[in-house]
Amino acid sequence: MAAMDRRIRVLIAKPGLDGHDRGAKVVARALRDAGMEVIYTGLRQTPEMIVSAAIQEDVDAIGLSILSGAHMHYFREVKRLLEEQGASDILLFGGGIIPDEDVPKLKALGVAAVFGPGTSTQEVVDFLRRRVPERWRAQEGV
């Protein structure tokens, strides 16, 4: 299948105990409206559940929504598990209440993008449309 015809598959996840899911749901819906296939995990997912769902659903990207301040912990865990499962090519991105100071640390972990409050959903759409086909080309060895 040519890269351009493929539909982008994204997992949107709420890790941890926090139930504030407005952002996750708005983003999930915007991605779907932009023609992507979106799987929303629902609330209170552990990193293990998220990574296993991502692999089972064969997604191109995982988006984590975290407002509780526990972002460093969850991103680190998800990234570690992706590597352990040989799935580190799945794009990891996220958003929520994440201080600027932590963004470089997250990038250093391998988080592809961090979207703070006030981000337009179009920015997330653009990011995935730009980055996911790069992943496909890499898979096809182009």
Partner 1 sequence: MRKKHDWLRETYQKSLEKMPERPVAHRTLSDIAPEPLYTPEDIGVLDPEYGEKRGFPGEYPYTRGVYGSMYRSKLWTMRMFAGFGTAEQTNARFKKLLQAGQTGLSVAFDLPTLMGYDSDHPLAKGEVGKCGVAVSSLADMEILFDGINLEEVTTSMTINSPANAIWAMYLAVAKKRGYDWKRLGGTIQNDILKEFIAQKEYIFPPEPSVKLVIDTFEWGPKNVPKWNFISVSGYHIREAGSTAVQELAWTLADGFEYVEAALKRGLDIDEFAPRISFFFDVHNDFFEEIAKFRAARRIWAKEMRHRYGAKNPQSWALRTHAQTAGASLTAQQPLNNIARVAIQALAAVLGGTNSLHTDAYDEALALPTEESATIALRTQQIIAYETGVTHTIDPLAGSYYVEWLTDEMERQAMAIIGEIRRMGGVVRAIEEGYFLRELAEASYRYQQEVERKERIIVGVNAFTDEIPLKVPIQLVDPEVERVQAERLAQVRRERDSRRVAEALEGLHRAAKEGQNTMPHFVECALAYCTLGEMMDVLREVYGTYQEPAYV
Q: Which residues bind partner 1 (CB under 8 A)?
A: 12, 16-22, 25-26, 28-30, 32, 38, 40-43, 46, 67-70, 72-74, 97, 99-101, 116-118, 120-122
Cβ closest to partner 1, residue 26 vs residue 138? 26
Cβ closest to partner 1, residue 38 vs residue 61? 38
The residues, ordered by sequence, that sit 6+ positions from 130 with a Cβ below 8 Å of its Cβ are: none
Cα separation, 140 vs 42, whole angstroms: 32
Residue given tokens 């981000």 in the structure block: 119
Q: What angle do CA 113, 114, 116 make, to 5 degrees?
A: 145
Nearest distance in Å: CB 48, partner 1: 11
Nearest distance in Å: CB 92, partner 1: 16
Cα separation, 31 vs 64, whole angstroms: 14
Nearest distance in Å: CB 58, partner 1: 18
